[in-house]
Structure 1
Amino acid sequence: MKAIDLHTHSTCSDGTFSVEELMDYAHEKGLAAIALTDHDTVKGLERADTYVKEKYPDMEFVPGIEFSTVNEGKDVHVVGLYVNYKDQEFLDTIDSYMNSRIQRNIKMCEKLRDEAGIDISYEILTEMFPKTVITRAHFAKYMLEKGYVSSKQEVFDRFIGDDCPYYVPRENITPEMAIEAIVKNGGVPILAHPVLYHMSDAKLEALVVRLMEVGLAGLEAIYSTYEAYEERQMKELAERHGLLISGGSDFHGDNKPKIDLGVGMGKLFVPENILEQIKKYS
């Protein structure tokens, strides 16, 4: 059975591979299917879809997106698979969410500049990283290149990680809002990497149950950084609630150098048969 990867990023958000380079690499790796799930944008989907159909008819392309939302002051991500990237209402919703991301990035720049003495602004970031969705990874790359830190990880550990003094949460965009937008669009909403939210078992299950009420369809139960017992727990949680299982590497290219496409940190394997159930749902 061949592998698939349902969570990847390109230069349209915070990956370092162009859309075409990512599709080439997926085919080189022998993947049966690949989803492009850039942060809060569908900008690369039509290019990827056309490119794969023309060049790699033996590989399936799954159009997707990863919405960044806030739950109780913490980031929670929702992946949408098989989204209709030409739906104008969906595009309008994404635009409104992007405005929230931009305001958050402006505020984070202001805090870093005024409180930490770092020469940074949203204008500087957009000039340095044009035509892309600015994420915290771009903050980290800028601060490393300018010598404010010795590693990208230090940026998240000291400055803009969820519990750090210069972090600013996004306003108003909840997981429910993202799920409702995906459902209305005809896509399949998946709770991304739930283990990474470091919730208690009871709290995570309560979140899952709550999100199911607005249409949550599945969990990312197979993921690059999971230990074997964590993958087992996520699969059991999905089974308890009749949810789909999804999985992916969360590949970002050089921005996450330890994570490779399709295999994550070396042990990841997302079997192609899980896509059958997801396709049936969509």
Structure 2
Amino acid sequence: MPQNYLNADLHCHSVVSDGTLTPEQLAQRAAARGVDLWALTDHDEVGGQHRAAAAANAAGIAYLTGTEISVTFADSTVHIVGLGFDADNAALTQGLYDTRHGRGPRAREMARQLEQAGIGGAYEGALRYAGNPELISRTHFARYLVEAGVCSDTYDVFRHYLTEGKPGYVGHTWASLKDAMQWITGAGGLAVIAHPARYDFSANLEYALFSEFKQLGGEGVEVVTGSHRPHEYQTYAGIAKEFGLAASRGSDFHSPEESQIDLGELPPLPSQLTPVWELLHERIQRP
């Protein structure tokens, strides 16, 4: 283990978006599993930030504010994680509100498609998991399909439903990359490209994404994350060096039952990279 190793987990979700644990439960779980520095990054939402920071302090771990913003880039959805910002910044909170607002009509159309495929009650079922129409997501629909016995687990859901070309998939135009970057940096935060290996981009499109991100003030990329395989750690370590980006690390944890990687379980960042927390030193809230 590197001498300067820090068990940082800077990407996870609570019930405020599409996770199943409260911010307080996540803080306790992170502390119990040896996390030194934690960030709650709910989708397009900062409503859990004050609770998460207080819970982290009570659990004795350091905390960074966080969110994961849905962005439309090249007709695809890309996620940008913001870290270390002012969670009460007016432009950020309004931008996230406007982004969330499109989820309700999208969810209605997803449910309509599922009903055409013979699956009734999907909107009401998903809403029970989400609790708020503004936060309803594919994950909430997936949990309902498992509950209804349509699929065995959420991984099975996404093999048969809710993805492009399959019943229940509805595209959506989210924030622009430029807007998301302005919200994060305007609130004093640092922007990170989340789980880049998940995007089905050609080499040219991926280069365009990183180039525009860097030009707009982006400073980080998730190198080690729950959905990356070990060889992808090295791929994105190389891209971090190429574009002069700091490296981030986060499990993308949603639920003890659903997530492949638990809080605190990730391997260290590859060597010779600058960890994002070194750039965020002054913004870390310490117990």
| Same fold by TM-score greater than 0.5 | yes
**Alignment-mate amino acid for residue 279 of structure 1:** L
Q: Is the 8 A contact 2:70 2:174 kept in 1?
A: no
Which sits farther off after the overlay, 215-224 or 199-208?
Answer: 199-208
TM score, norm. by length of structure 2:
0.88
Distance (whole Å) between structure 2 residues aligned to residue 204 and residue 185 of structure 1: 27
| Counterpart mapping for 1:125-140 below 5 A | 125-131=126-132, 133-140=135-142
Which residue matches 1:212? Answer: 214
Task: Find the aligned partners of 2:82 and 2:219 in 1 and give their Cα distance.
Answer: 10
- Counterpart residue identity of residue 59, structure 2: Y
In the alignment, the residues of structure 2 paired with residue 180 and residue 140 of structure 1 have an alpha-carbon distance, to the nearest angstrom, of 32
* Alignment of 1:20 onto 2:24: yes
Residue matched to 2:77: 75
Alpha-carbon deviation of 1:248? 0.7
CA separation in 2, counterparts of 1:269 and 1:67?
25
Any conservation in 1 of the 2:127–2:140 contact (CA below 8 Å)? no
Long gaps (5+) in structure 1: none
**Any idea what SS the aligned residue of 1:142 has?**
helix
- Give the match's secondary structure for 2:127: helix
Q: Which is further off, 150-159 or 36-45?
A: 150-159
* Aligned counterpart in structure 2 of residue 103 of structure 1, from 96, 105, 109: 105
Q: For residues 188 and 256 of structure 2, what CA distance do their matches in structure 1 show?
A: 33
**Matched residue, 1:42:** 46
Larger displacement relative to structure 2 (242-251 or 167-176):
167-176
- Shifted more, 13-22 versus 250-259: the winner is 250-259
Secondary structure at the aligned position of 2:280 is classed as helix
Q: Summarize the alignment of residues 46-65 of structure 1 with structure 2, pairs less than 5 Å apart.
A: 46-53=50-57, 55-57=58-60, 59-65=61-67
Contact 1:144–1:151 (Cα < 8 Å) also in 2: yes
Unaligned runs of 5+ in 2: none
Flag as ranges the 4+ runs of structure 1 deviating above 4 A: none
Q: Deviations over 1:187-228 (max 9, x none)?
A: 111000001113233321221102222222111111123233
Query: Which is further off, 30-39 or 158-167?
Result: 158-167
- 1:158 maps to amino acid: H
Q: Does 1:226 align with 2:228?
A: yes
Say which SS state the counterpart of residue 43 (structure 1) adopts: coil
Aligned residues: 276
Q: For residues 17 and 188 of structure 1, what CA distance do their matches in structure 2 show?
A: 26
Contact 1:189 1:217 (C-alpha < 8 Å) held by counterparts: yes
1:241 Cα deviation from its structure 2 partner: 1.3
Q: Which moved more, 1:188-197 or 1:232-241?
A: 232-241
Structure 1 residue 103, shift from structure 2 partner? 2.2
Structure 1 pair 138–188 and aligned structure 2 pair: CA distance change class (3 A): same
Q: Is the 8 A contact 1:78 1:191 kept in 2?
A: yes
- What's the secondary structure of 1:78's corresponding residue? strand
Matched position secondary structure for 1:179: helix
Mapped contact 1:16–1:255 kept (Cα < 8 A): no
Cα RMSD for the two superposed structures: 2.3
Give the whole-Å Cα distance in 2 for the aligned partners of 1:257 and 1:89: 32
Contact 1:263/1:269 (8 A) holds in 2 = no
Map of 1:251 onto structure 2:
253
TM-score, normalized by length of structure 1? 0.89
Go from structure 1 to structure 2 and tell me whether the alpha carbon gap of 1:134 and 1:257 turns closer, same or farther (over 3 Å shift).
same
Q: In 2, distance between residues paired with 1:278 and 1:162?
A: 37
Deviation at 1:180, TM superposition (A): 2.0
The letter of the residue matching 1:269 is: P
Structure 1 contact 9–250 (Cα < 8 Å) conserved: yes
| Structure 1 residue 278 displacement after superposition | 2.8
2-structure distance, mates of 1:157, 1:167: 12
* CA distance in 2 between partners of 1:102 and 1:245 (Å): 34
1:279 is matched with which residue?
280
Match of 2:178 in 1: 176
Tell me if 1:122 matches 2:126: no
Structure 1 Cα separation of the partners of residues 177 and 105 of structure 2: 19
Counterpart amino acid of 1:248? G
Q: How many Å apart are 1:128 and its aligned residue?
A: 4.4
Task: Give a deviation string over 1:49-97, Cα, whole Å, max 9, x none.
Answer: 12222x134x211110011222233221110001211112221111111
Do the aligned residues in 1 keep the contact of 2:247 with 2:269 (CA within 8 Å)?
no
CA shift for structure 1 position 136? 0.9
